[in-house]
Amino acid sequence: MNNQIGSLFSNRLSTAYNQLRGDLGVPQTATDTIDKLVEKIQTSAAVEDRRTAVLGLKGLSRDWKEVSS
């Protein structure tokens, strides 16, 4: 059961990442990524989409801490 939940979450996160990446897979600036995630939090009707965007911002902030340290 936990593997199914983990797999579902992983698939959802992967889908959100691909949407952020865009059609051509062209890298975005950090500002563009943050703007898209914040927009998704503010406008998405689905709780799961908002949760995924929050987790994405959390991951970015954690990664940024590691880079800037």
Per-domain residue ranges of the chain: 2-68
Three-class DSSP category at 11: helix
pTM of the full structure = 0.57
Give the model's pLDDT for residue 66.
57
Give the model's pLDDT for residue 12.
72
Nearest in space to 5 (alpha carbons), one of 44, 54, 46, 48: 48
Three-class DSSP category at 20: helix
d(CA 65, CA 69): 6
**Which DSSP letter does residue 28 get?**
P
What is the distance of C-alpha 61 from the center of its chain? 12
Range 60-68 average pLDDT: 70
pLDDT tens column, 12-62: 777 776 666 665 666 778 888 889 899 999 999 999 999 999 998 998 888
